[in-house]
Structure 1
Amino acid sequence: MSVQPLVRDRIRDVEEIRIQAFSPIEVLYRHAHIFYPFEPTMEDMKVLDSLGAWRDDGRLGMEGTLHRFGRMDTAQQTSLVTVRVAKAFVGLAEPLRPWLEKAQDGVIIIGLPGAGKTALLRDVNRILGERLAGRLFVCDSSNEILGDGIQPHSITDWLSRVPIGDPKLQLSKLNMVVKNFQPRWMVVDEVSSPDDARAIGYARSRGVRVVMTWHAGSLASAYQESEERTLWSLIKRNEEGITGPCVAQLGILVRGRGEYVVFENLTEAFASVAAGNLPLGVQVSVAQDTPWENREQALSG
């Protein structure tokens, strides 16, 4: 079984490949979803087990790449595999360089699932790493930032890599990094639980600045988020409203790949949201590389 000939000519546009026994091969491209008339047998699926040892969460990384395999089994035989084809886009964060080079108090990248937060985060790490080098610790929750194998992707450069792999281990790993390695900055992808927020709060109390991603479509939705109120302690709010400065001051709202809104002072921006006003942001585009001011509501539809 070989999927490569099916996607070779459009590999740069491939986002995900789904291989299921006795079903057509599915390929999700950036702008298309295509079914190919090739149906692998269970014998074909056995080839996928030769890639390496699957973890308990059904995941497996490909050494030296950002690609990740996810597996489901039937009667202890691999019956479904999804291949997440991740890419490193060098230059994706270049329009944000003026803000990143001056950032002294943390960065929050906000966006909906699939908007491109992690892709942007990789390139943000590259720019921050130019001045922070090994004092920037990348705590890789699901090993999606720098790769899931023992051998990292080449974009690692001088960054200090902390593979976690299982989000349930994130709290203990983050605390271990803070206690044992004295990082100046720490990167955390997918802040999604109270434990994540506690670990970030602990890091901040030790003087560590944090770069993190949040699932939210706007500052207003992040402020109003009610599921376990995970982000409230990071925004520094309670039922009455804002109680202190946000855990990071530079905010980047990802509208899509290469399309961002920059909030230079998140504390002031969230205070505007709390007061029922529209926070002012600077819209930035990789394509145009020309910032201009615009109100968030006009950008969030």
Structure 2
Amino acid sequence: MTVRAQSSEVSDNLQLDCGTLPTKEHQDTVDKTQRISNCQQITDDLPKLLDILPAEIRSLLEQHAERDSLIEVIMDLGRFPEVRFRDRAEYLSDQPVTIEQINHCVERVGSFSGDNRAGIEGTLHRISAIRNRPGEIIGLTCRVGRAVFGTIGMIRDLVETGKSILMLGRPGVGKTTALREIARVLADELDKRVVIIDTSNEIAGDGDIPHPAIGRARRMQVASPEHQHQVMIEAVENHMPEVIVIDEIGTE
């Protein structure tokens, strides 16, 4: 397990005339953002994702200088293996991916659900499959799952109001990461009864034991995406939640 503190610089977009100082309100915002960034901790369990990869691909990644900022590993049959980072992508090798390498990965992850997603037990990583017409897996997207503690600092005041929150955004911007931390804060710090409807096991990870990143929140798994609404109703009727956290709500 890798735990690291991440600190990011805060850019000052305020246009100032020569000799003009930032306003107190602006400086307070900058200070708050810096405090939030400095207290964030990231847990990614990256070695467990590397363990499912074929040896030749795993060894290249283990030596990669930017391994800790890895987002995805792409393996498509007959194409070069590709790694993606936040701002760029690159080929990892000049040897095309073989069906044996894909099968090597498939054998080491959980079963694929109706949405062609699987996971690695005890982690937040997501493995998504591409199939051919007969249904055989010929491509994999291995996405790094990270628990970021402290990531909701900027919207914590909204979370504490008890009102409903809808999060919208393109894939990969951190919606699920924020949902996970919201669930933990509500359950552990605000003492709410929280139930997570985990449609793709992305919020609390694969396996029957939820990832520690959700704290005391409870997790209900969904057998297939089309049953999501039924599990939501079951949560309300059977488990008396004060808060329900749902991912992939656009499924139905």
Same fold (TM over 0.5): yes
Deviation per residue, 1:175-232 (Å, 9 max, x gap):
0011111111111123326x5xxxxxxxxxxxxxxxxxxxxxxxxxxxxxxxxxxxxx
Residue aligning to 2:169: 111
Residue aligning to 1:26: 82
**What aligned pairs does 1:182-221 form with structure 2 within 5 A after superposition?**
182-192=240-250
Cα 1:76–1:96, aligned 2, differ >3 Å: closer, same or farther?
closer
- Separation in structure 1 between the aligned mates of residue 144 and residue 121 of structure 2, nearest angstrom: 13
Shift of residue 132, structure 1, vs aligned partner: 4.8
Q: Contact 2:131–2:138 (CA<8 Å) still a contact in 1?
A: yes
Shift of residue 20, structure 1, vs aligned partner: 1.6
Gaps of 5+ in 2: 1-53
| Letter paired with 2:96 | E
Residue aligning to 1:62: 120
**What aligned pairs does 1:1-301 form with structure 2 within 5 A after superposition?**
1-2=54-55, 3-8=57-62, 9-36=65-92, 37-51=94-108, 52-74=110-132, 77-101=136-160, 103-133=161-191, 135-164=193-222, 166-192=224-250
Size of the aligned set, in residue pairs, is 193
Cα 1:84–1:165, aligned 2, differ >3 Å: closer, same or farther?
farther
Shift of residue 131, structure 1, vs aligned partner: 4.0
| Partner SS state of residue 149, structure 1 | coil
Cα 1:112–1:20, aligned 2, differ >3 Å: closer, same or farther?
closer
Greater Cα offset, 37-46 or 177-186: 37-46
Cα 1:4–1:133, aligned 2, differ >3 Å: closer, same or farther?
farther
Deviation per residue, 1:96-122 (Å, 9 max, x gap):
333433x12222223333332112222
Deviation per residue, 1:217-273 (Å, 9 max, x gap):
xxxxxxxxxxxxxxxxxxxxxxxxxxxxxxxxxxxxxxxxxxxxxxxxxxxxxxxxx
Q: Contact 2:192–2:243 (CA<8 Å) still a contact in 1?
A: no
| Partner SS state of residue 219, structure 2 | strand
Provide the aligned C-alpha RMSD in A: 2.2
| Letter paired with 2:91 | F
| Letter paired with 1:22 | G
Q: Contact 1:17–1:28 (CA<8 Å) still a contact in 2?
A: yes
Cα 1:69–1:165, aligned 2, differ >3 Å: closer, same or farther?
farther
- Separation in structure 2 between the aligned mates of residue 60 and residue 96 of structure 1, nearest angstrom: 31
Q: Contact 1:134–1:160 (CA<8 Å) still a contact in 2?
A: no
Q: Contact 2:131–2:139 (CA<8 Å) still a contact in 1?
A: yes
- Which structure features the higher share of strand residues? 1
Q: Contact 1:24–1:35 (CA<8 Å) still a contact in 2?
A: yes
- Separation in structure 2 between the aligned mates of residue 117 and residue 43 of structure 1, nearest angstrom: 34
Deviation per residue, 1:20-67 (Å, 9 max, x gap):
222100111111111122322222222123124333432211001111
- Separation in structure 2 between the aligned mates of residue 45 and residue 190 of structure 1, nearest angstrom: 27
